[in-house]
Amino acid sequence: MLNTAQTSESPLQIEVTSPVICGTGSKRYVDYTVKLTTTLPVFQQTESTVHRRYSDFEWLHKELERADTKIAVPPLPDKAWQRQLPFRKDNGLFQDDFIEERRRGLEIFINKIAAHPLAQIERALHVFLFEPEIDLTKYVRGKVNK
């Protein structure tokens, strides 16, 4: 079986796949699988698979938007407040079509970010792409050493 990074022109590929609804009631959320393959030397690993939810993407967006990063951060897919209203006749945030639309938007977002040379040296991106859990008690802002 060929490695997708070797069969593509791109030295960096990130897929956001396999959305799964987790939790119950008001604690429900969608978990996405984020798979990375890369040949870029700035990343210490060539492959990674982590699970992230929308709020993790929001955290990364906020971290990279800081004034001192000088990165033009693309927008995330909309928060979709109207889909969170009670008494809807559908599943709101958990409708299949909405989940798929958001998944595509998150995949576009993370690929644009990860392809940006200034973002590639931000510790937040490395934590997002490689750490099994984003532990904010241990996270320290800054650059990674190449």
Q: What is the CATH number of the domain that holds 20?
A: 3.30.1520.10
Residue 7 lies in a domain: no
Mean pLDDT of the chain: 86
CA 137 to chain centre: 20
Is 88 a residue whose pLDDT tops 80? no
Which residues form the domain of 70? 12-130
d(CA 17, CA 104): 9
Predicted confidence at residue 82, as pLDDT, reads 53
Tokens, residue 142: 């800054």
Residue 136 lies in a domain: no
- CA-based end-to-end distance of the chain: 30
pLDDT digits (tens, 9 = 90+) for 12-40: 999 999 999 999 887 889 999 999 999 99
Q: Does 15 or 1 have the greater pLDDT score?
A: 15
Overall number of domains in the chain: 1
Residue 30 lies in a domain: yes
